[in-house]
Amino acid sequence: MSRELLQNVRVLDPVSGSDRIADILIAEGDIKAVEEKIAEFPADTEVRDCRGLILGPGLTDIYSHSGEPGFEDRETLESLMQAAAAGGFTRVAILPDTSPPVDNLAGLALLQQHIRNLSPGLPRLYYWGALTAGVKGQQMAELGELASCQVVGFADGLPLSNPALVRRLLEYIQPLGKSVALWPCDRTLAGKGAAREGAVSVRLGLPGIPASAETSALAVILELVASAGTPVHIMRVSTARSVELIRDAKARGLPVTASVTWMHLLLNVGAISGNSQDSGGKNALTASLPYDPNLRLEPPLGNLSDQLALIQAVKDGVIDAIAIDHNPHTYEEKTVAFADSPPGAIGLELALPLLWHGLVETGDFSALELWRVLSTRPAVCLGQTPATVAPGASAELILFDPQMSWTVDGSSLKSRSANTPWLGQQLAGKVVQSWIY
C-alpha cells in the first residue's frame, strides 16, 4: 500500500472534538501520525499540500433505498455505492423494501449474492432486515433467523398501523440485541395528502397532511417503548411537535434515538411554490420550479417553524443524526403531477456540499457539529464504533473541497436516477478522495 502525507489540511474529528490544521501520514491502510508538522517521513511517501481542504472520518447513512434487486432501472447496488462514495459516505445501510424484500433468509442470501459482485473499494454496505413479512405491516418476519445473519437491525421503512403488532415486535426483538427503526406516521390521518398542511398548501391547492399524522403515531410508539424497554430509533422526524415529544422522552430516560432527513433541514414547504417569500428566507434552493415533483417527499417538507425546530434539535442533540434516505426514481415515474408523483429524492452525492453551504457557512452549525451528525452519531445509532482520525486507527477518511464547483447533471451524478430539485444547478463542494480499508 502507498504512503501519503497530507500537509496543512483541516482535520475534523468528532470523536475527540478536534478541529485543527495539521499534517497526517497514512500508510498500509492506517493513520500513522497526526501532528502540527510532520518533518520526517519515508522517501517513497506521496506528499500533497491540502490547504483549504477538509479531512474527516467517512460519513455514515442510517437508511437509504436500493433499486436492486427488483427495480434496477431506478438504481443498482453498484451505482448506489458509487454515488455514496462520491458523496463521502463510507458506510451505508439500506432498507429492506427491495423485490423480493429482505424478510427471510432467502431474500437476505439474494442480496448478499448481489453484494459479492460489487467492485472493490466501495463503501461498506449494511442492510436492515424487515420487521414484517413482505414489508406489509401485518405479521412478523423471520426475525430470529435474520438476526443471526448480519442484519444491522430491523426496519420496514414504512409505517406500522397496528400498535398491538408493534408491541409484540418490541418484546420479541429485545433479547436479540438488534437496532429497531420505526417511522411514525398515521396513514389514516395523512390520507391522500401531498404537502404539509398550512397556509402554503392551501394557497397551492395541494391536499394537506397534518402534523398530527406524525405526532399521534409517535406518541403511541413512545408509550410502547416505555412499556417494553426496547431501544428504538425514530426515523424521519419532520415536525416541531415531534421534537418536543422526543425531548420529553429522552428527559424521562426512554431508550430512543432519532434522525431527520437532510432535505428537511434545508427546505420547507415554501420551496414547492418556487417563491422564496413562501420559504421565509430559509431555503437552500437557488432556483426552483413550482410544483417540482422532486420536492414531493415522505414525510412532506414541514412549515418554516418545523424546519427551524429541526435545525435546533440537531444542534441540541435531541435529534441524534442526519439521514439521507436516498430514494431513486426514474424520469418517467417523476414526470407527473406533483400529487401523483412517488415520494422521494436522491441525496447521497448532494447532502454534504448542500448541508455545508446551507448550514455551516450560514453559521447555523459549526463544521464539527455537522460532521458529528453525519458520521459519528449515525454510526452509534447503528450500534457501530464510529471512525476516528487518530494515530493507529484504520484509515476510513474522506477529503472534501468545499469550494470545488460542479454541475448536477447526468454526466456528473453517479446515481442511476436524477430525481433531485437541484438538477441542472451548479454547486460548490466535492469529495476529492476517500480511504476505505
76 within 8 A of 68, measured Cβ to Cβ: yes
Active site residues: 325
What SS3 class is residue 121? Answer: coil
CA–CA dist 346, 75 (Å, integer): 10
Residue type at position 392: G
Residue type at position 249: A
Q: Which three cell numbers stand for residue 162?
A: 397496528
Residue 339 DSSP one-character state: G
C-alpha separations of 61 from 57, 65, 73, 256 in Å: 13, 11, 22, 18
Task: Report the DSSP beta bridge partners of residue 323.
Answer: 261
CA–CA dist 113, 436 (Å, integer): 21
What SS3 class is residue 426? Answer: strand
CA–CA dist 185, 258 (Å, integer): 14
Residue type at position 435: W
> How would DSSP label each residue in 281-305?
T----S---TT-GGG--SSPP--HH
CA–CA dist 166, 188 (Å, integer): 17
252 within 8 A of 223, measured Cβ to Cβ: no
What SS3 class is residue 75? Answer: coil
For the chain, helix, strand, coil in percent to 5 are 30, 25, 45
Nearest CA-CA partner of 11 in 34, 29, 44: 34
